[in-house]
Amino acid sequence: MVQLWCFYTGAEFFYFRFAIRSLPHYIITGKNFIKNFKETYMLFSILTPCYNSAAFIESTVNSFLSQNFTDGELILLNDGSSDNTLEVLTELAQRDPRIRVIDQKNSGVSISRNHLMDEAKGEWILFLDHDDQFLPDAATELRRLITAFPDAECFVFPCCLKDENGGIRENIAPAFRDFGDQLFTGAEAFRRLYSEKKYRGQHWQPWRFVFRRECRPHFTTGVIHEDLDALPFYIAGLHSVCIAKTPYYLYTMDSPNAVTRSFSPKRVADICEVTARLYEKMEKMSSNQSKLQLPDEVIRGFKAMLAFNIFGYYQAAALFPEPQRSQQLAFFESRKEWLLAIENPSFNSSLKILCLRVLGVKRAARFFLRINNIRNFLKRFSR
């Protein structure tokens, strides 16, 4: 018994001496771990798809460099530009180690966005389009909200607008003004942003969103309107969404570099394809074939938002040369319910519905076109 006690006592003494001698090593190792974690941890990944951006990308990058994004990275993706964008991006990346450059063959904005999200290392992901900028206090505002709403999976923001003369103004829609800095379920946020009559709007641009990397969306490839296709129902499916009150983003209006700058036949065909896909998703909800379920009145409100969005494309189709004009108007004729879903408390919307019912889709398109031409003429004459 005495021998056994001596053995255990000796072993305990040995391990005690070993632990004391090893303590400095563990302290140093712990300090190095913390140091390495601080050096490698990324809170933000800012993602910028670039195409023929050489002439203006520097001001976009400077708006990142002027921020306090010490724990963030900026990833610039050259999407097979035909100018010297890649050379400009490479030179910009040499100025700051937080900037990375990716080069790929021309694949379109959807593939570019998905590629960038796969490359991101930050806890939070946000997009900065190649011809836009951050506002001066963007990093401070983002950190404030992330700290205030630690359970949020996504933030949705208003913005400021920069016109062609360089003038800047706030663009805070009613939903952001009345529900700003509040946390909602995804379905509640969807209702306020895209369905409720007083508040709904076209708030689906990717740069409006800041989302956790582990629950990032996926953009459908091959279409121009990838944001409308992906983001509204993405929001509805999340557990917690914060609608922000203060903008952090400066959007350049009527940029000559915007992908969606004209009502081309391709663009109209794409919006029809995306709208059809959204209607298909809503049909599955109505027949309980979808995991995502939204109330009928919320779906009706979203259909009204889609009608408001698509009306301009429908009117533009009357300007197309043949045979595109006849093909597009025939398609809208077959989807007349899309247009009739417009629901806005205004005389203008009531007149549109009346004309569609009385004149039909094709003749109403020509009538709306003439009305717009008269309106534009009177605007020019009044100046």
pLDDT at 264: 86
Using only the alpha carbons of the chain, give its radius of gyration: 27
Same domain? 177 vs 208: yes
- Asked whether residue 260 is assigned to any structural domain, the reply reads no
Q: At what angle do helices 265-286 and 226-236 cross, to 10 degrees?
A: 20
- Asked whether residue 365 is assigned to any structural domain, the reply reads yes
Same domain? 2 vs 21: yes
pLDDT at 334: 94
Per DSSP, helices labelled H in 237-318 are: 265-286, 296-317
Same domain? 72 vs 179: yes
Query: What is the domain-level CATH number for residue 114?
Result: 3.90.550.10
Number of domains in the chain: 3
Same domain? 147 vs 184: yes
pLDDT at 4: 43
| pLDDT tens for each residue of the chain, 383 residues long | 545 444 445 545 554 455 556 555 544 444 443 344 344 689 999 999 999 999 999 999 999 999 988 999 999 999 999 999 999 999 999 999 999 999 999 999 999 999 999 999 999 999 999 999 999 999 999 999 999 999 999 999 999 999 888 899 999 999 999 999 999 999 999 999 999 999 999 999 999 999 999 999 999 988 888 999 999 999 999 999 999 999 999 999 865 444 445 678 989 999 999 999 999 999 999 889 999 999 999 999 999 999 999 998 998 898 899 999 999 999 999 999 999 998 755 557 777 888 888 888 888 888 887 887 777 766 666 65
- Asked whether residue 257 is assigned to any structural domain, the reply reads no
Q: Strand 182-184 relative to strand 241-243: parallel, antiparallel, unpaired? A: antiparallel
Please give the Cα distance from 142 to 242 (Å, whole number).
12
Same domain? 17 vs 114: no
Same domain? 205 vs 353: no
Same domain? 81 vs 228: yes
Domain range for 229 is: 43-252
Same domain? 118 vs 176: yes
Please give the Cα distance from 228 to 354 (Å, whole number).
28
201 DSSP assignment: -
Last residue within a domain, chosen from 200, 224, 252: 252
C-alpha torsion angle, residues 353, 355, 357, 361 (rounded to 10): -100
No. of helices (H) and no. of strands (E), the chain:
14, 12
pLDDT at 32: 46
Same domain? 60 vs 16: no
Last residue within a domain, chosen from 252, 286, 313: 252
Same domain? 112 vs 21: no
91-132 pLDDT tens trace: 999 999 999 999 999 999 999 999 999 999 999 999 999 999
Find where tokens 């593939």 sit: 111
* Strand-pair partners of 251: 161
Same domain? 111 vs 207: yes
pLDDT at 241: 98
Cα–Cα nearest to 138, from 81, 72, 186: 72
DSSP helix/strand/coil, 302: helix
- Asked whether residue 352 is assigned to any structural domain, the reply reads yes
Same domain? 315 vs 192: no
Last residue within a domain, chosen from 217, 252, 287: 252
pLDDT at 8: 47
- Asked whether residue 103 is assigned to any structural domain, the reply reads yes
pLDDT at 126: 97
pLDDT at 249: 98
